[in-house]
Amino acid sequence: MQIANETLQSQLDELNAARLGAENVQRANDEFAQVLPIAALWTDRAGVIEKGNEAASQLLNIGRHHLQGKPLMLFITDRGPLFAALRSLCEAEGVLAVDIDITVRPRERRPRKMKLCGRRLQHDGRCVWFLHEGSSAHDESHEPHEVNGVF
């Protein structure tokens, strides 16, 4: 009986150590997400925000804790491309990432053109979205572009 109790106590100690380690990893991940200098939002498969970092909170002009439960489409004017991106990430086989140009509509601020980069998370079924200032490749180039054979 004593050996069984010692074995059980040893297993409980190992389990508690594993739980503490997992909590430490979660806290480190949360801290990392908050210090990212780019706006990041985590949504469920329907596009409902589960959490966002401080950069997203500032960009969207809403408190970080008030983001939870809000649909991402509330802050995006281009809903068609957003829904298509959600479908691609969540329903299409083999699609792990999408990148689209969208217009963000922060609360009580002017809309602005941005790049929305979505990634499907493998470990829990959520999506993570990064919002950043973006421009297409042709906007970055200062070379003349050919249009109907004319420069």
Residue-wise pLDDT for 124-138, tens only, equals 788 999 999 875 443
Residue-wise pLDDT for 78-88, tens only, equals 889 999 999 99
Mark whether 13 and 43 lie in a shared domain.
Answer: no
Q: Which structural domain range is residue 74 located in?
A: 37-135
Mark whether 46 and 26 lie in a shared domain.
Answer: no
Domain count, the chain: 2
**pTM, rounded to two decimals:** 0.74
DSSP 3-state assignment of 147? strand
Residue-wise pLDDT for 66-78, tens only, equals 999 999 999 999 8
